[in-house]
Structure 1
Amino acid sequence: MQPPGPQDSPASGTVESQRHDGLPVAAMLRAIWWSEDFHPNPATGLPGKVRKRPVPSAGGCYPVQLRVLCGEGCDVPPGTYVFNGTGFNGSGGELLRLRNHDDGTPPQGGLRAPARGAVVVLTVLPQRTLAKYHHRAGPLLIADTAYAAVALVHHAAARDVDARWDAVAPRRWPGSVPEFALATVSLGVSPARCQQPRHDRIAGVSEAQLAVRRSCGLSRLRARPAADAGRVVGELLERSLLSFPQAAPSSCRARVLSAESLRDPELADRCAGQSWVRSLDALLVFEILGTPTPAAMWWTATLAAHILYTALGADLPLEFRPVGGWTGSRCGWTTLHGLGVAIRKPLTTNHERAANAGQ
């Protein structure tokens, strides 16, 4: 069943002419949140209604909305915008300027446009995710937001734009449907403010690299995990932590499951019966000792996304599939999120090449 609820927050506005200079806000958002192509309808094989976006989303619900507060120096005039993500008003893939917010201040106050640069506010429309996942929806909404925020920061690095992501205390965003702000991404704001403590620079991910990112196809998973997958993923985890700007909350950890651990008969039960995880080459699990907290869930999801986009930016032969819906605990450790990893297999026949084109 198609879950109920809107795919986008109803909004009306005007499309502003983009400048050829200035901070490429519209271009960056289009790169992470837009595609001309659609996923096929499983029943017919024809293009469906869900775009092949570079950012993953649980069940293809895509609850994240992009609100943009622009100051001076952007490729659009100062003001408040919403990114037209699926094509309402007969178009799509551009910023719509909301005329009643020309001072850059949302009607409830609080977040304001910077003097220069832009702040992207990531909000969620929870209805579709709630209808599909019920009590498991909360962590999935956080994860969807985290993957979008981190993707934007990695793409900003490729364009040499100062950027940082931040979680915000959930707040209701005004409108005709329930919509909640969960995070912000600052773009081109003062470098001193955007500087995040890290050992290494965040890997840049180009528009072309974003365009080919897809969750690993279940039909391509191996019957038996690759022997060296655990080592490969462990090295990727260590490498990614060097450029990750957030310290781990107390009692949180990330660890790699491979080979024997993936064959644990209880593993699929702990992630809501997703038995396909046994066919992965490796699985990164993010855990907390004790009761989950929102801070731990945010750390977990942003680190998983950071690992994915670090590998994408380095053109590593790896495919990923986020694993949500974890339940219960084991030996006191509660799993918050998983990141499935498959080592990309070479395509050996013309039929395989054709079948997997664009995936």
Structure 2
Amino acid sequence: MPVAIPERLRSLFDGLWRSPGYHHLPDGTVTSIRQRPVPSAGAAYPVHTHLVVGSAGLDGLDPGRYLYDHENGHLLRRVAAREPATGWDIERARPATAQTTLVLTVQPGRSFGRYRHRAWPLWIADVAYAQTAVEFLITQHLKTSTGPGPLLRALLGVPRAACAQPWLSRGLVPEIPLAAVELPPSWTVDADRSHALATRRSPALSEFEQATGRRPEPRAVEVARLSGQGWVLGADRVETWSVPAQAPAQDIAGAVWQAHRRAASLCYDGTLSGRWRSRPISGIAAGHGRWITHALAMLPASGHRHTNDAQEACA
């Protein structure tokens, strides 16, 4: 059921998901895929935004569960009375909290259809970039948590994504809740940060390729070799995050979350400062006993010199 979006909440949703432009194909053809402030691997955009309004309400919104429609910019309230009949007993799982919580989920099929067995780190990647964007836009300290797990499913009152039938019976696609951000009563969106994020764009591959004639940054050489993505050689700066290849699964999962959260912070801070433009890199194979879980290829923003050029000028 559509409801009016309070102005403060609208500023947060717009800051995360609304940009004026559309993605282009390599030949310059404009697609129908709208660009968004928060990056997504392969522009798959599997992240969905839910809102759980606690007993205190939020700017006129009644307590309950809501879903934000990214495509149309609408906020939809879930009707609790309709859900038990289709196997969604959300009344039994209703959270006893006064606060409002933003919950980020992924529709796994959107990334799996393109990346297959390589999709699972990208589910975390896209949610980590979105979660960090919330913290970037709202400068107050925020309490966050990550999943997957029963606590986040209970917060949303949804079945497991692996149990597809309850979802399909309602004409829905399974979602995996992966992160939650508790919103304090006095939160606000920083207008300057929102503007910076709205104008953020990953540099095109052609921009990196045009710069490959310079001496490559050492980490760029390693990432280009392990990922098979030669364009990385044109990066002015490359940041990487890695974990031992034989680490326990729990440690690897934690490292994947940490890598993408740190990369997102670096990406957004570079945009805010006007100094760096960043392009995330995934799909990197393990080498020398370590797995680079994520990397960030960076080019200087307009008006800033290439680091390697400056080094050569001083040599």
2:264 aligns to what? 305
Aligned pair partner of 2:133 in 142, 148, 151? 151
1:97 aligns to what? 77
Cα 1:213/1:109, change in 2 over 3 Å: farther
Q: How does 1:31-50 map to 2 (within 5 A)?
A: 31-41=15-25, 45-46=29-30, 48-50=31-33
Aligned pair partner of 2:242 in 287, 297, 302? 287
Cα 1:166/1:225, change in 2 over 3 Å: farther
How far, CA to CA, are the matches of 2:267 and 2:49 in structure 1?
21
How far, CA to CA, are the matches of 2:191 and 2:266 in structure 1?
12
Q: Does 1:140 align with 2:122?
A: yes
How far, CA to CA, are the matches of 1:113 and 1:95 in structure 2?
22
Structure 1 residue 296: Cα displacement = 1.3
Structure 1 residue 335: Cα displacement = 0.9
How far, CA to CA, are the matches of 1:281 and 1:43 in structure 2?
24
Structure 1 residue 100: Cα displacement = 1.9
Aligned pair partner of 1:166 in 136, 145, 152? 145
Q: Per-residue CA shift, 1:64-105, capped at 9, x if unaligned?
A: 11111013352333221111101xxxxx11311112279xx9
Aligned pair partner of 1:83 in 42, 59, 68? 68
Structure 1 residue 125: Cα displacement = 0.6
Check the 8 A contact 1:225/1:259 in 2, yes or no: no
Structure 1 residue 217: Cα displacement = 1.8
Check the 8 A contact 2:104/2:131 in 1, yes or no: yes
Structure 1 residue 274: Cα displacement = 1.4
How far, CA to CA, are the matches of 1:41 and 1:277 in structure 2?
19
Structure 1 residue 327: Cα displacement = 1.5
1:231 aligns to what? none
Q: Per-residue CA shift, 1:164-221, capped at 9, x if unaligned?
A: 3321234525622221111111111699xxxxxxxxxxx9962211110111122223
How far, CA to CA, are the matches of 1:289 and 1:182 in structure 2?
24
How far, CA to CA, are the matches of 1:169 and 1:122 in structure 2?
11
Residue aligned with 1:206, SS:
helix
Check the 8 A contact 2:245/2:286 in 1, yes or no: no
2:309 aligns to what? none
How far, CA to CA, are the matches of 1:225 and 1:187 in structure 2?
47
2:296 aligns to what? 339
Cα 1:113/1:307, change in 2 over 3 Å: farther
Cα 1:68/1:41, change in 2 over 3 Å: same
Q: Does 1:123 align with 2:105?
A: yes
1:328 aligns to what? 286
Check the 8 A contact 1:326/1:337 in 2, yes or no: yes
Amino acid at match of 2:80: N
Aligned pair partner of 2:255 in 296, 307, 312? 296
Structure 1 stretches of at least 4 aligned residues deviating more than 3 Å after TM superposition = 40-44, 108-111, 224-227
Amino acid at match of 1:344: A
Amino acid at match of 1:175: W
Q: Per-residue CA shift, 1:304-340, capped at 9, x if unaligned?
A: 1111122223x2320000101111222x221111111
2:276 aligns to what? 318
Cα 1:190/1:210, change in 2 over 3 Å: closer
Q: How does 1:222-301 map to 2 (within 5 A)?
A: 222-224=210-212, 259-264=217-222, 267-271=223-227, 273-291=228-246, 293-301=252-260
Identity in percent: 30
How far, CA to CA, are the matches of 1:298 and 1:34 in structure 2?
24
2:37 aligns to what? 54
Q: Name whichever structure is richer in helix by fraction.
A: 2
Aligned pair partner of 2:11 in 21, 24, 27? 27
How far, CA to CA, are the matches of 2:98 and 2:122 in structure 1?
34
Check the 8 A contact 1:113/1:119 in 2, yes or no: no
Q: Per-residue CA shift, 1:23-79, capped at 9, x if unaligned?
A: x22320221012343223556724x22111000101000001111101335233322
C-alpha RMSD of the superposition:
3.1
Cα 1:284/1:25, change in 2 over 3 Å: same
Q: Per-residue CA shift, 1:242-278, capped at 9, x if unaligned?
A: xxxxxxxxxxxxxxxx6244345xx42411x211111
Amino acid at match of 2:226: R
